[in-house]
Amino acid sequence: MECKIKDVRGFGLVESIVVIIIVAVLILVAVGVKKSTFRKAAIKEGMQLIENIDVQTRIYRAQNGTFPTTSRVGSSSKINVSAVKNEYFKEFDLSYASGNNFTVNVYGSGMANGVTLRAVINATTSSKQNLPQGQVEIYGL
C-alpha cells in the first residue's frame, strides 16, 4: 500500500489574512491601554505637583504675609518646590489672582508636551477642598 503525503506549502491566503487581522486588533488594544495609562499617570503627577505648590505657598504666605509669584520655572527656592525630576510636568508658575486666591499652572514636557493643568486656589480653604479634579482645568490632554 502506497501512502501519499499531501503537498503543503505553508499558510494559505485566508489564514494569512486572519493572522494579520488578529495582530492589528492586538496592536490597537495595546495603544489604547497605553494612552489611557499615560493620561492617568500624567494627571496624577500634575495634581501632586499642584498640591505641593499649594502647601508650600501657604507656608510662604504665613511667614511673609504675601503670596509669592514665579515665572515659568522648574524649581523655586522661595516656596521650596522642584519639578525638575518629574516625568511629565517639569515646569510651573504661580501668580497672585486677587483676595485670597492664587493661580498655579503646571506645564507638561516630554510625552506630555503641550499639556497644562491650571488651578485657582483659595488660600483660606483646605487644599483637599481646592483640588478635586473638577476644579483643575486640563488643557491639551
The answer to whether 31 and 23 are in contact (CB under 8 A) is: no
- Predicted confidence at residue 107, as pLDDT, reads 92
Instruction: Sketch the domain layout of the chain as residue ranges.
Output: 14-139
The answer to whether 116 and 140 are in contact (CB under 8 A) is: yes
Which CATH code, of 3.30.700, 3.30.1360, 3.10.450, 2.30.30, is assigned to 14-139?
A: 3.30.700
Higher pLDDT: 140 or 126? It is 140
Say whether pLDDT at 133 is over 60: no
Q: pLDDT by residue (tens digit) across 107-122?
A: 998 888 888 899 888 8
pTM: 0.71
- Predicted confidence at residue 78, as pLDDT, reads 87
Grid cell in block for residue 101:
486666591
